[in-house]
Structure 1
Amino acid sequence: MSALFSRYGLNTVSVAKEEPIPGSFWGDSEAGLIANELYIRDDTPIHSAFHEACHYICMDQKRRTGLHTNAGGDVHEENAVCYLQILLANQLDGYSSDCMMQDMDNWGYSFRLGSAAAWFEKDAEDAREWLLHAQLITQDNQTTWKLRT
Structure 2
Amino acid sequence: MLHYREHRDEIDALLRQLQPLQPLRVEPGAAIPGSFWGAPEAGLISPFIYLRDDTPVHSALHEAAHFVCMDGARRAALHTDAGGDVAEEDAVCVLQVLMAEQLPRVGPERLFADMDAWGYSFRLGSTAAWFEQDAEEARAWLRHHGLIDVNARPTWRLRT
TM-score band w.r.t. shorter chain = over 0.9
The ranges of structure 1 where at least 4 consecutive aligned residues each deviate by more than 2 angstroms after the TM superposition are none
SS in 2 for 1:13: strand
Unaligned runs of 5+ in 2: 1-10
The yes-or-no answer on 1:119 pairing with 2:126 is: no
Q: Which amino acid aligns with 1:26?
A: W
Identify the match of residue 99 of structure 1 among 105, 110, 117: 110
Give 1:40-51 correspondences, 5 Å limit: 40-51=51-62
Deviation at 1:148, TM superposition (A): 2.1
Question: In 1, distance between residues paired with 2:75 and 2:54?
Answer: 25
Deviation at 1:135, TM superposition (A): 0.6
Unaligned runs of 5+ in 1: none
Give 1:81-100 correspondences, 5 Å limit: 81-100=92-111
TM-score (norm 2): 0.88
Deviation at 1:93, TM superposition (A): 3.4
Corresponding position of 1:148: 155
The percent identity for this pair of structures is: 55
SS in 1 for 2:153: strand
Question: How big is the alpha-carbon RMSD for the aligned residues of Structure 1 and Structure 2?
Answer: 0.9
Deviation at 1:6, TM superposition (A): 1.4
Q: Which amino acid aligns with 2:88?
A: E
Q: Which amino acid aligns with 1:47?
A: H
Could you list the per-position Cα deviations for residues 2-46 of structure 1 after superposition, in whole angstroms to 9, with x for gaps in the alignment?
Answer: 121111111000001121000000002000000110001000000
Question: In 1, distance between residues paired with 2:50 and 2:29?
Answer: 14
Corresponding position of 1:135: 146
Corresponding position of 2:84: 73
TM-score (norm 1): 0.94
Question: In 2, distance between residues paired with 1:113 and 1:92?
Answer: 26
Corresponding position of 2:63: 52
